[in-house]
Homo-oligomer: A and B are copies of this chain.
Amino acid sequence: MELSPTERTRLRRLREQGRSDRAALFAVLGAGFVCHLGVVLDGAPMVVPTVYGFDDDFLYFHGSVASRSLAGGQTVCVTVTHVDGLVLARSVFEHGVNYRSAMVYGLPRALDGDDKLAGLRVLSEHAAPGQWDYARRPSRKELAATSIFALSLDEASVKIAEGPPGDGDGPDAALGLWAGVVPIESVRRPPEPDPALPGDITAPAHITALAT
């Protein structure tokens, strides 16, 4: 008996689940620091990678690349995706990807003054905890040349696909083919010093801690 597309869809849904809890959202946002920012520019979509950070209520992102389209005040979509595995099933149709992805929609607010400094700090501490107190902080001029936006986390969704392929208990299991997952992982290697760095300056603990 061949499964109907509807039944297949059901199986795939078990692998791929929407999550609405905040903990899932924070877990996905916490696992990376580069998002894809979608804006509309001259009627067409534009998707640019940019760095982000977040707190309980807002996602903060670097907006210089999209500043022209963000200036007008428009809804954006920020998507953060982690690819966790390549799912190899018995049939091409059941192949897929294990992933965790969060989408946040909203009208971003351009930050100024102390708010901008605070947003930049969240962003910096998210990507490299400890650097805010270690590195030289932005001058007034540098801060003016930086665009930081805050996006409410109110309208957010999370989708997670995980586990083995969904056709292990279907008719294709009888084909005798190998099926499973090739796990994919993002790994941070030990810090590599700037060649311009004098040899007596060693990486402080908060930097060596950044390696996986």
Interface set of A (CB-CB < 8 Å, partner B): 2, 5, 8-9, 32-34, 36-40, 43-49, 51, 75-79, 81, 83, 86, 88-93, 95, 97, 99, 101, 103, 105, 120, 124, 127-128, 131-132, 134-139, 141-142, 145-146, 164-165, 168-169, 172-173, 175-197, 201-204, 207, 210-211
* Complex Cα–Cα for A46 and B157 (A): 12
The contact of A136 among B172, B183, B192, by CB within 8 Å, is B172
The contact of A2 among B99, B139, B168, by CB within 8 Å, is B139
Contact call B189/A187, Cβ cutoff below 8 A:
no
The contact of A78 among B47, B128, B141, by CB within 8 Å, is B47
A76-B45, A92-B138 given; A180·B204 CB < 8 A: no
The A contact surface, by secondary structure, is mixed
Contact call A178/B196, Cβ cutoff below 8 A:
no
Contact call A182/B178, Cβ cutoff below 8 A:
no
Contact call B135/A90, Cβ cutoff below 8 A:
yes
Contact call B134/A77, Cβ cutoff below 8 A:
no
* Complex Cα–Cα for A201 and B147 (A): 55
* Complex Cα–Cα for A177 and B193 (A): 11
* Complex Cα–Cα for A195 and B165 (A): 10
Residue among A48, A83, A93, A135 with max Cβ neighbours from chain B (10 Å)? A135
Contact call A49/B79, Cβ cutoff below 8 A:
yes
Closest to A32 in B: B83
* Complex Cα–Cα for A201 and B172 (A): 14
Contact call A189/B179, Cβ cutoff below 8 A:
no
Q: Which residues of B contact A86 (CB under 8 A)?
A: 33, 127-128, 188, 210
Contact call B187/A184, Cβ cutoff below 8 A:
yes
